[in-house]
Structure 1
Amino acid sequence: MKADENGRTGFFITGTGTGVGKTLVSALMTLAFDGDYWKPLQTGLAEDVGDTADVAALTGLPPERCHAPLYQFDALLSPWSAARRTGAHVDLTRISLPATKRPLVIEGAGGLMVPLNAGQLMIDLIAICQLPVILVVGTGLGSINHALLSLEALRRRKLPIAGIVMNGTPHADDAELILHFGGALPCAAIPHLPDLTEETLRTQAARLREIFSARQDTETTRP
């Protein structure tokens, strides 16, 4: 895994939307690369324990390796909407990546264009973090359109793309078509996993490590 200019390694896990499997992929990538996990912005705590607790449970990592969010909100809304309900403000100048010598797996909230405040989106946070992006694509109708729009947005900002993870029961030729129109990228497929056993998680993590370790450099633009 190639380090950035500050010696950091890791991935930023984003998705084509909410509910596509970013947290599962984040847990698997954390296991795959023996990394730390961080979700800077968490909403929806009134309805769930939160993704940090979920990743800790899936990976078995101690609390010091599942870093606490910088912002946490109860409402299951975009960070900007959730923050406004409490009178808070999401300030991206406060973003400082957790100190760790391990690869850092950062999980975003929602998709690339989720509002964080009045002038910034999730893609702006990705630009600040400067880690290669893994795009999680939920399978099913609409996945091709959502994936290609997301890839176009990342390339327009010249953000490094590490690859794609198709998560869920395969739907027709979606992965083939996304790669045909979206460019040759490392692509992994995670099937529907009804039982998240330790063996299942370790097996899937090993597959992701093989796929995303093979390519040392990431792309930022297409010819």
Structure 2
Amino acid sequence: MARIFVTGIGTGVGKTMVSACVTEALSADYWKPVQSGLEDGTDTNTVQSLLSNATTVCHPEAYRLREPASPHLSARLEGTRIDEMLIVSAANGIRPSSGHLVIEGAGGLLVPLNENVFTLDLILALQAQVIIVAQNYLGSINHSLLTSRTLKACGVPVLGWIFSGEFHSNQDEIVRWSEYPLLGHIPQAQRVDAAFVREQARGLNPVLASVLRS
């Protein structure tokens, strides 16, 4: 089974949209282990509403936390603590029929899950391959290259980049400097629905199939 962990260079860069497109492209299962913030619905609900294929199973979160904050803080406010090994155990119980599981992280690599464990540590424990989601904004080059160099230094296998939002030439330079391939670009859309996700998934499917075979 291929575990594909979707991480971002920060918060609000399009991880959930990209996760939906990758899940649709591979007819994979989807899982968001830790959901912080429940008032406006969950990322699992969003992804489920955007999928068209009949294969994907969206698995329930290991932790559902009310406060829209860093997972370690949200958990603390509810008098609990996130146990990364519980998440790994839950992952071991998931058997996607497609052979692929898309796992959406919270924020970026160094978002803390508890006092000692960060998202990066969870990726390593899950033995997952990573897709990095980036978006152009002031400071995004720095955030992108910090993310890619951290993954490289820790020996995490990276499938490549998916950029979201308006195109900017910065993305070509980020790809070159990081030495990780470009997998795709999800454009800004006035209407985001299942049809939009299907269209983006069709473009992603060949390149994802290729990198997952290699």
TM-score by length of 2: 0.92
Q: Match of 1:112, as an amino acid?
A: L
- Give the C-alpha shift of residue 116 in structure 1: 0.4
Q: Match of 1:83, as an amino acid?
A: A
SS of the residue aligned with 1:215? Answer: helix
* Alignment check: 8 A CA contact 1:56 1:62 kept: no
Counterparts of 1:199-210 in structure 2, within 5 Å, are: 199-210=195-206
- The higher relative CO (CA closer than 8 Å, separation ≥ 6) is in 2
Report the equivalent of 1:26.
Answer: 19
2:151 aligned with 1:158, yes or no? no
Moved more, 92-101 or 9-18: 92-101
2:63 aligned with 1:71, yes or no? yes
Moved more, 55-64 or 146-155: 55-64
CA deviation map 1:173-208 (0-9, x unaligned): 111110221114133111101112433221100111
2:118 aligned with 1:121, yes or no? yes
Report the equivalent of 1:51.
Answer: 43
Q: Give the whole-Å Cα distance in 2 for the aligned partners of 1:191 and 1:117.
A: 34
Moved over 6 A (4+): 61-64
* Alignment check: 8 A CA contact 1:138 1:167 kept: yes
CA-based RMSD of the aligned residues comes to 1.8
Report the equivalent of 1:211.
Answer: 207
Report the equivalent of 1:5.
Answer: none
* Alignment check: 8 A CA contact 2:10 2:108 kept: yes
TM-score by length of 1: 0.88
Q: Give the whole-Å Cα distance in 1 for the aligned partners of 2:36 and 2:4.
A: 21
Moved more, 80-89 or 134-143: 134-143
Report the equivalent of 2:35.
Answer: 42
Task: List runs of 5+ in structure 2 lacking aligned partners.
Answer: none
Counterparts of 1:129-140 in structure 2, within 5 Å, are: 129-140=126-137
Higher share of residues assigned helix: 2
- Give the C-alpha shift of residue 142 in structure 1: 1.6
Q: Give the whole-Å Cα distance in 2 for the aligned partners of 1:125 and 1:199.
A: 33
Q: Give the whole-Å Cα distance in 1 for the aligned partners of 2:172 and 2:182.
A: 12
Report the equivalent of 1:108.
Answer: 105
